[in-house]
């Protein structure tokens, strides 16, 4: 695989979308921007089921399998072909979302969740994971201003606290591929830090 995979992770309202747009602009739009769930036509349908179903109607194991199914389709149809062509792929969420939300948030068996996602992604691991860390109280407040809460956003605060801690633990355990940023910092400052780190990864840093 010659292309690089850069992933954004974080809890609700962390500002991934905004920072992804900054990075895409910084890289002159010469990158593939995509997301999980929803990066394929099939994935868009799964995303709707996952986020718009009424609370309490999706069993936890079904949820884990649907995220993994979205991921398998996305890798096969979009991500792996792009990486094989040497393209840079920027993805909103990856396997660590399932570790944070399903394993930690839902308290499901992490070994199963990891195995499922590793299988779904054919073992593709991001070259860089940018974690936009935010206190869920602030993040959920920001997300609430965006519109009505989806099924995951409506989970209890404790659920979102477990998600945040899981991300911080993942970052600690994978220091080499993680960049952890305080998502409450000014937007431009975050964008500049991310641009520098990605330039180093891609070898596009200004001389
Ligand atoms: P977002 O892409 O708009 O951030 O929303 C996706 C939602 O789905 C978010 O609440 C996190 C959740 N999610 C999981 O629970 N597990 C996963 O594996 C992924 C990719 C997302």
User: Which of 12, 14, 93 is the pocket-test mutation for ligand 1 (most atoms within 8 Å of CB)?
Assistant: 93
Atom index in ligand 1 nearest the CA of residue 151 equals: 10
Per-residue pLDDT tens for 101-156?
Answer: 999 999 999 999 999 999 999 999 999 999 999 999 999 999 999 989 999 999 99
Asked whether residue 207 is domain-assigned, the answer is no
Nearest to 13 by CA among 204, 168, 183: 183
Specify the residue with its C-alpha closest to ligand 1, atom 6.
37
Asked whether residue 67 is domain-assigned, the answer is yes
Per-residue pLDDT tens for 94-107?
Answer: 999 999 999 999 99
pLDDT tops 70 at residue 207: no
Asked whether residue 169 is domain-assigned, the answer is yes
User: Which of 11, 47, 101, 117 is the pocket-test mutation for ligand 1 (most atoms within 8 Å of CB)?
Assistant: 101
What is d(CA 166, CA 101) in angstroms, rounded to the nearest whole number? 8
What is d(CA 40, CA 87) in angstroms, rounded to the nearest whole number? 18
pLDDT at 204: 86
- Average pLDDT, integer, range 54-59: 95
Per-residue pLDDT tens for 161-193?
Answer: 999 999 999 999 999 999 999 999 999 999 999
Per-residue pLDDT tens for 64-87?
Answer: 999 999 999 999 999 999 999 999
Number of domains the chain is built from: 1
Which residue range forms the structural domain that includes residue 178?
4-202
Strand, coil or helix: what is 33? Answer: strand
Asked whether residue 70 is domain-assigned, the answer is yes
Q: What helix, strand, coil percent values describe the chain, rounded to 5? A: 55, 10, 30
pLDDT at 25: 98
Asked whether residue 95 is domain-assigned, the answer is yes
Asked whether residue 90 is domain-assigned, the answer is yes
Residue 123, Cβ neighbours under 10 Å: how many? Answer: 10
Summary mean pLDDT of the chain: 97
CATH of the domain at 27: 3.40.50.300
Retrieve residue 33's tokens: 């921007």
Ligand 1 center–CA 112 separation, angstroms: 18
Ligand 1 is surrounded, with C-beta below 6 A, by: 35-37, 67, 92-93, 97-98, 101-102, 152
What is d(CA 12, CA 132) in angstroms, rounded to the nearest whole number? 10
């Amino acid at each position: 695989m010659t292309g690089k995979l850069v992933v954004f992770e974080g809890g609700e309202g962390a500002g991934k979308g905004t920072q992804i747009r900054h990075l895409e602009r910084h890289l002159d739009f010469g990158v593939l921007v995509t997301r999980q769930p929803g990066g394929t036509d099939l994935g868009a349908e799964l995303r709707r089921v996952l986020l718009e179903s009424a609370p309490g109607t999706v069993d936890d194991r079904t949820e884990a399998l649907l995220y993994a199914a979205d991921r398998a389709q996305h890798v096969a149809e979009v991500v792996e072909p792009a990486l094989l062509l040497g393209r840079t792929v920027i993805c909103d969420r990856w396997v660590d979302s399932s570790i944070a939300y399903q394993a930690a948030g839902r308290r499901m068996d992490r070994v199963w969740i990891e195995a499922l996602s590793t299988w779904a992604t054919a073992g593709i691991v991001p070259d860089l994971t940018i974690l936009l860390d935010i206190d869920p109280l602030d993040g959920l407040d920001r997300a609430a201003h965006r519109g009505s809460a989806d099924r995951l956003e409506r989970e209890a605060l404790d659920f979102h606290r477990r998600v945040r801690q899981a991300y911080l633990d993942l970052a600690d355990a994978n220091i080499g591929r993680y960049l952890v940023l305080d998502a409450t910092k000014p937007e431009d400052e975050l964008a500049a830090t991310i641009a520098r780190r990605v330039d180093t990864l891609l070898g596009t840093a200004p001389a």
